[in-house]
């Protein structure tokens, strides 16, 4: 069964951070953005969300991550990130 973007956002957050829906409060949801990796011929849709985390101490990174760091939104330009992260952040910040 397929999930909605809202449901999938919660699945991804739990997989990547260990946080459940009870640990989060939705602040804002942005308009979907599309991106494309021309080298691989892959196209994707990014659904922007901004959540408040009730307890940052509950975050547990999965095997995909080496570290986490809290930064100010305007500092995102100083980091190498996944495609469209700056644009996604602009949708909800």
Phi/psi region, residue 41 (left: phi>0; alpha: psi -120 to 50; beta: rest), is left
**Chain segment 18-54, per-residue pLDDT in tens:** 999 999 999 999 999 998 888 888 898 999 999 999 9
Question: What are the domain boundaries of the chain?
Answer: 5-92
How far apart, in whole angstroms, are the C-alpha atoms of residue 75 and residue 42?
28
**Chain segment 82-93, per-residue pLDDT in tens:** 888 999 999 999
The verdict on pTM exceeding 0.95 is: no
- pLDDT given for residue 82 in this prediction: 84
52 beta partners = 25
- pLDDT given for residue 92 in this prediction: 95
What is the chain's length? 93
Is pLDDT at 62 greater than 90 in this prediction? no
Yes or no: is domain 5-92 CATH 3.90.79.10?
Answer: yes
Q: Number of H helices and number of E strands within the chain?
A: 2, 4
């Amino acid at each position: 069964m397929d999930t909605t973007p809202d449901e999938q956002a919660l699945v991804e957050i739990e997989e990547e951070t260990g946080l459940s829906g009870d640990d989060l409060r939705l602040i804002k949801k942005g308009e979907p953005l599309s991106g494309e990796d021309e080298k691989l011929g892959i196209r994707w849709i990014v659904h922007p969300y901004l959540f408040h985390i009730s307890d940052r101490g509950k975050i547990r990174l999965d095997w995909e991550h080496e570290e986490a760091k809290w930064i100010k939104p305007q500092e995102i330009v100083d980091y190498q990130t996944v495609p469209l992260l700056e644009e996604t952040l602009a949708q909800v910040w």
